[in-house]
Structure 1
Amino acid sequence: MDTAAGPFTTLVDADGAVLASGWTSDAENLRQLVHPTLRPTELRQRDSLGVVTKAVAAYHSGDLTAIDPVPVRQVSGPFLVHAWEILRKIPAGNPVTYTEYATVAGRPAATRAAANACARNAAALFVPCHRIIRTDGTLGGFRWGLGVKRWLLDHESRSEA
């Protein structure tokens, strides 16, 4: 679907849980981000994914909590799964540093591991890794580009005001 931040694609499983998502129109690239045990063997394009599509549209229109109840399914080791769950609890409009994120995730000395959790997150937006920034206030990295990350942070800041 088209969004103000660019084209957005979501892959969901048969139950409607998000497997991967991001600001791209390349569904095959997204498919490769999904853990092999969850990766779909084939993709079928749909104009609407129901609740998921509505949540993406609502978020981009200013309802920042619309993405919160959407189920996400990602597989990895215990720390990454836990770190992704923590990301879903970081409120919109209140970005935290990688160091703060590591602390909240229970491993204050593991800033690199926290950054790795962001880098390995396949379900962008629904697992809002864009809300993590560097200690000096700069953006850090983002799979979908720093322009999209800046747009998301500005959008959340404006919508929270």
Structure 2
Amino acid sequence: MEISMMWHTTLDTPAGPFTYVVSDAGAVRASGFTAEVGTLLPLVHDKLREESQPAASPGPVGDAVHSYLAGDLTAIDSVVVEQHTGGPFMTHAWQVMRDIKPGEPVTYTGFAELAGRPSAVRAAATACARNAAALFVPCHRVLGTDGTLRGYRWGLDVKTWLLQHEQTAGIQGPAVVSHSATRSVQRTKM
């Protein structure tokens, strides 16, 4: 019997260190703006959690992040995400969140409407809070009901940077930037 593993990589980004944890198949199970993989592992659902080791290279997920940072805001759209939840609304809400266009943030109310449950504003906010795959499931694109920045697990400074990056890159289009412009760093501390 072959033992499944998860693999983690940390990239330096303008918004701070970004770490992602992927399955053997390359699906993102958790990601966030931290250098500590130990912060991400508890976000992986128990049924999906396996031992995690440093990846030998950033792989396709790293390539997508580099392209996103260089201005190709849709590069992260094709990254496969594997999250597990106890209910169909959460799964549906996360998929809907992936359809929110870069540079076009919505409020919790708007997100609830997009998810087909306009009165479920709190459930929409909970979907953001329980999202383990930051950036790839872009909860940073959801604002408070009044249109202001609200909580983000990785900090409002990071959320602000992401929203400004998407607004600016959306106007200017992708830049031609070498992937070496964002340096990969492997972390082993757990």
For residues 106-146 of structure 1, give each alpha carbon's deviation from its aligned partner in whole angstroms, at most 9, with x where no partner exists: 11001000000000000000000000001322111100000
- Structure 1 runs not aligned, ≥5 long: none
What percent of counterpart residues are identical? 59
Equivalent of residue 70 in structure 2, options 54, 61, 64: 61
Higher CA-based Rg: 2
Once residues 75 and 137 of structure 1 are traced to their aligned partners in structure 2, the CA distance between those partners, rounded to angstroms, is 29
Equivalent of residue 9 in structure 1, options 9, 19, 22: 19
Higher strand share: 2
- Structure 2 runs not aligned, ≥5 long: 1-10, 172-190
Number of equivalences: 160
Aligned-CA RMSD value? 0.8
Once residues 152 and 112 of structure 1 are traced to their aligned partners in structure 2, the CA distance between those partners, rounded to angstroms, is 23
| Partner residue in 1 for 2:57 | 48
4+ residue stretches of structure 1 with deviation over 4 A? Answer: none
| 1:47 CA displacement | 4.9
Moved more, 117-126 or 136-145: 136-145
| Partner residue in 2 for 1:135 | 145
Equivalent of residue 135 in structure 2, options 104, 115, 125: 125
Equivalent of residue 43 in structure 2, options 19, 24, 33: 33
Q: Which amino acid aligns with 2:59?
A: G
| Partner residue in 1 for 2:124 | 114
Distance of aligned partners of 1:9 and 1:47 in 2 relative to their CA distance in 1, 3 Å threshold: farther
